[in-house]
C-alpha cells in the first residue's frame, strides 16, 4: 500500500499485509502522487537505468549526499508483503467458474445478454445510464421491460423502438470493471464461488509472513541532463532516523531553490493587496 486506508476494502488490504505500526505510520508521510515508479520511463533516453538497492547502507555508499549534480525531487514509501502471481488462477483472482464466464466475454458469447436483475445490478454500480437530452440532467434508468428493450436496441437486438431516438439512446459501459461486476453477480445467482480460493481474489499469493517497506526515490542528475528512479528495500526500523534526515535534506534543498521566487511572490501579492 502507498497510502493510509480510506475505506473498508483498503483497511482489509492493509490488515492482510501484516504490517507493523511503524511501517503503517510511514504511509502518512507520503505525498499525494505515488503512481510513478521504475517501470515508467522504460527506454526513454532521458532516463538513467533504475537502481535497485537491497539496503539503506547499500544506497548511501553510492549516494553519500545531495548536491548540484545529484538532487532528490520526489519520494514515497510502500508497505507490502512480498508476493508472486497466483499459480492456480494465473493472476486473474477468479474461480474456475468465474474464469469461464470471463472467457465467454472475450469469445463474444455473453455480450450484454442481460436479464432485468442483471441490468439492475449494473445500474446500481453505475456501469451504464441514459444519455439525457441537451440542457437536462441525466436520470437513473428505470429497469423494466422497456429498459431492456432499449438495451437490445443499442446492441442490435430485436426492438420496436428506434435506437437513434435521443431520448432512448443509452451509454453502455460494460468495460473490464463492468464485466467483473457482472461475473460476480452471476456467480452469486448460481451459488458458485467468484474468487480464487488460493489467493482470495487478489491474483497473488504471499511469499512472506509480514510486510516490508520499500522506499522509492526520484533523482535528477543535472550535469547529465538525466533522471532516474531508485528503489531501496527493505527499509528497516533502525534505518528510519537516517532515511528521514536524508529526505529532510532534500526538502530543504528544494525549498532553498525556490526561496527567491516565494519571497518575490509574497512581495508582489502584498503590493497587489495594498493597492
pLDDT of res. 103: 82
pLDDT of res. 2: 95
Instruction: Report the number of distinct structural domains present in the chain.
Output: 2
The verdict on residue 89 lying in a domain is: no
Whether the per-residue pLDDT at 127 is higher than 80: the answer is no
Residue where the block lists cell 437536462:
136
pLDDT of res. 117: 74
Note whether 197 and 214 are same-domain residues: no
Distance (Å) of CA 209 to CA 68, 80, 225: 42, 11, 42
pLDDT above 90 covers a percentage of the chain that reads 45
Whether the per-residue pLDDT at 46 is higher than 70: the answer is no
pTM over 0.85? The answer is no
Note whether 71 and 150 are same-domain residues: no
Query: Which of 192, 33, 17, 16 is CA-nearest to residue 99?
Result: 192
The verdict on residue 36 lying in a domain is: yes
Note whether 105 and 73 are same-domain residues: no
Query: Does residue 41 contact residue 220 with C-beta atoms inside 8 Å?
Result: no
Residue where the block lists cell 537491497:
54
Whether the per-residue pLDDT at 26 is higher than 70: the answer is yes
Note whether 162 and 110 are same-domain residues: yes
The verdict on residue 52 lying in a domain is: yes
Whether the per-residue pLDDT at 114 is higher than 50: the answer is yes
Note whether 104 and 198 are same-domain residues: yes
Check residues 121 and 6 and name the one with the higher pLDDT.
6
pLDDT of res. 260: 85
pLDDT averaged over the chain?
A: 80
pLDDT of res. 97: 93
The pLDDT-based confidence of 3 (bands split at 50, 70, 90) is very high
The verdict on residue 56 lying in a domain is: yes
The verdict on residue 121 lying in a domain is: yes
Cα–Cα distance measured from residue 245 to residue 234, given in angstroms and rounded to the nearest whole number? 17
Give the residue numbers spanning the domain of 19: 8-82+209-235
Q: Tens digit of pLDDT for each residue in 193-221? A: 999 999 999 999 999 999 999 999 999 98
Residue where the block lists cell 429497469:
143
Angle, CA 84 vertex, CA 81 and CA 87 arms, to 5°? 140
Query: Does residue 78 contact residue 2 with C-beta atoms inside 8 Å?
Result: yes
Cα–Cα distance measured from residue 180 to residue 194, given in angstroms and rounded to the nearest whole number? 10
The verdict on residue 105 lying in a domain is: yes
Lookup: cell for 177: 470493471
Backbone angles phi, psi at 150, to 5 degrees: -70, -35
Q: Out of 62-66, 207-211, 253-257, give the one with best mean pLDDT.
A: 207-211
Query: How many helices (DSSP H) and strands (DSSP E) are in the chain?
Result: 9, 8
The verdict on residue 261 lying in a domain is: no
Whether the per-residue pLDDT at 128 is higher than 50: the answer is yes
Residue where the block lists cell 480460493:
197
Query: Does residue 75 contact residue 250 with C-beta atoms inside 8 Å?
Result: yes
Amino acid at each position: 500500500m502507498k497510502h493510509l486506508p480510506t475505506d473498508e476494502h483498503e483497511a482489509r488490504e492493509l490488515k492482510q499485509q501484516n504490517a507493523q505500526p511503524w511501517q503503517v505510520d510511514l504511509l502518512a508521510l507520503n505525498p499525494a502522487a505515488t503512481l510513478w515508479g521504475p517501470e515508467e520511463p522504460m527506454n526513454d533516453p532521458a532516463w538513467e537505468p533504475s537502481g535497485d538497492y537491497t539496503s539503506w547502507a547499500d544506497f548511501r555508499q553510492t549516494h553519500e549526499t545531495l548536491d548540484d549534480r545529484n538532487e532528490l525531487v520526489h519520494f514515497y514509501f510502500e508497505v507490502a508483503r512480498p508476493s508472486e502471481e497466483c499459480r492456480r488462477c494465473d493472476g486473474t483472482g477468479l474461480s474456475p467458474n468465474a474464469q469461464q464466464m470471463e472467457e465467454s466475454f472475450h469469445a463474444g458469447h455473453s455480450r450484454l445478454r442481460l436479464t432485468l436483475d442483471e441490468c439492475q445490478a449494473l445500474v446500481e454500480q453505475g456501469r451504464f445510464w441514459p444519455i439525457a437530452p441537451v440542457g437536462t440532467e441525466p436520470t437513473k434508468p428505470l429497469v423494466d421491460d422497456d429498459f431492456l428493450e432499449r438495451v437490445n436496441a443499442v446492441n442490435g437486438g430485436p426492438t420496436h423502438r428506434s435506437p437513434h431516438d435521443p431520448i432512448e439512446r443509452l451509454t453502455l459501459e460494460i468495460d473490464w470493471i463492468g464485466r467483473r461486476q457482472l461475473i460476480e453477480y452471476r456467480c452469486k445467482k448460481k451459488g458458485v464461488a467468484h474468487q480464487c480460493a488460493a489467493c482470495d481474489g487478489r491474483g497473488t499469493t504471499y511469499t512472506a509472513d509480514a510486510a516490508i517497506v520499500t522506499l522509492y526515490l526520484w533523482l535528477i542528475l543535472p550535469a547529465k541532463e538525466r533522471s532516474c528512479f531508485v528503489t531501496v528495500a527493505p527499509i528497516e526500523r533502525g534505518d528510519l532516523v537516517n532515511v528521514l534526515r536524508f529526505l529532510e535534506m532534500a526538502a530543504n534543498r528544494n525549498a532553498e531553490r525556490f526561496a527567491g521566487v516565494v519571497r518575490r511572490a509574497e512581495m508582489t501579492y502584498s503590493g497587489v493587496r495594498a493597492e
